[in-house]
A and B are shown apart, each in its own frame.
Chain A
Amino acid sequence: MSTVTYVFGIVSALLVLFLVLDLLRKRRVRERHALAWIVAGVVALVVAVFPGVLTAAAELLHVDVPTNLGFFVTLVVLFLVSVQHSAELTVLEEKSRTLAEHVALQDERLRRLEGRDGAPPRHHDDARPGSGDAR
């Protein structure tokens, strides 16, 4: 491995870490979402600084070509993160669905109550809180 690739690997890992930490600092990414990326970045940095770690791990697992182990681990990380995103997306969809229902139900109720009084509540003189709704 030439010095250029060595430095290139380290710089890339540092860039990833910097990007994620910066987003975290600006509150653009929540910590629980950034965690996977931080771990991946740190692992990438360690491997970039000490390529021997990857070689040793590959030998331990009887993987002939160490870079293949690197690709495999990368794929697993990316896969897990996107599955997690799919799951969270589903949760968010369900939440926005529930909110949409609530907005519609409240709207309808508000309309009904306003209509019953015959005038918008703004012009309602004896509007005590909790007095109008006798349901």
Chain B
Amino acid sequence: MPAYNEEAVVGDVVREVLDKLPGVHVLVVNDGSADRTVERAREAGAAVLDLPFNLGVGGAMRAGFKYAKDAGHRYVVQVDSDGQHDPAGVPALLETLRDHDVAIGARFAGEGSYEARGPRRWAMAVLATVVSRIAGTRLTDTTSGFRGAGPRAVDIFARHYPAEYLGDTVESLVLAARAGCRIAQVPVSMRVRAGGVPSHAPVKAAVYLGRACIALVIALWRPPLALSPEPTPTA
């Protein structure tokens, strides 16, 4: 659970996850927050990785995957710390991870309140189309931060989770797909974001699309990574 200045909600989110999903181990990666995110998360019963400075979501995720690997956890599910992901969707992700390496929690069409419009919407559509082709499966929500990783993906993400712009969403998928991971999409419902309305300004959307395309091209250009042979999913 990557967290950046989420003191207001992180405690409740952690409590909800522990409440709804007994037996899980919750790790909050504090991405250099200036507030009391760390204390709130610890009070709620989560283990906390406290990064000394901000690394971005990708940086926080790699640290989290390293932690999971060191601790011997085989399945990792990433949940946003702002409460927009309903932990009730986690079992569905884990179910998919039985025969896949990466499971993406995609928003139901129409359900949830997150609605991108205009240029940003087709920016996301373009990304979804291209990444779908690379992954060899239909993905509609490539920028979702609600996703699960099985042993092979955990291993690769612990070493190579990209920290670049959009690396945490698009490039990580491309990287996993090209390494031979099997990716699948799972429909989940999402809730209203507590704060931070995504921008719809056309210039910003254009910049977003441009940077996303560059990130995609670079991701495709890089030599593909090899999956390490030892950990194979046995489920």
Contact surface of A with B, Cβ cutoff 8 Å: 97, 100-101, 103-105, 107-108, 112
Residue of chain A at shortest CB distance from B29: A104
B62 within 8 A of A: yes
Q: Do the beta carbons of A100 and B66 come within 8 Å of each other?
A: no
Question: Do B52 and A103 touch (CB < 8 A)?
Answer: yes
Give Cα A112–Cα B51 distance, bound, in whole angstroms: 16
Contact partners of A103 in chain B: CB under 8 A: 51-52
Given A107-B50, A108-B48, A108-B49, are A100 and B67 also a contact pair (CB < 8 Å)? no
**Which of the residues A97, A105, A107, A112 comes within 8 Å of B59, measured between beta carbons?**
A97
Residues of B in contact (CB 8 Å), total 16
Binding site for A on B (CB under 8 A): 29, 47-53, 55, 59, 62-63, 66-67, 70, 163
Q: Looking at chain A's contact residues, is the secondary structure mostly helix, strand, loop, or mixed? A: helix
Distance in Å from the Cβ of A61 to the closest Cβ of chain B?
34
* A105-B63 contact in complex given A97-B55, A100-B55, C-beta closer than 8 Å: yes
Once the chains bind, are B52 and A104 in contact (CB under 8 Å)? yes
Contact B50 A104 (CB under 8 A): yes
- CA separation between A105 and B48, bound complex, in Å? 9
A12, chain B: closest CB distance, angstroms: 40
CB of A101, distance to nearest CB on chain B (Å): 4
In the complex, given contacts A105-B70, A108-B49, what are 14 additional A-B residue pairs having Cβ atoms less than 8 angstroms apart? A97-B163, A100-B53, A101-B51, A101-B66, A104-B29, A104-B50, A104-B51, A104-B63, A105-B67, A107-B49, A108-B47, A108-B50, A108-B67, A112-B47
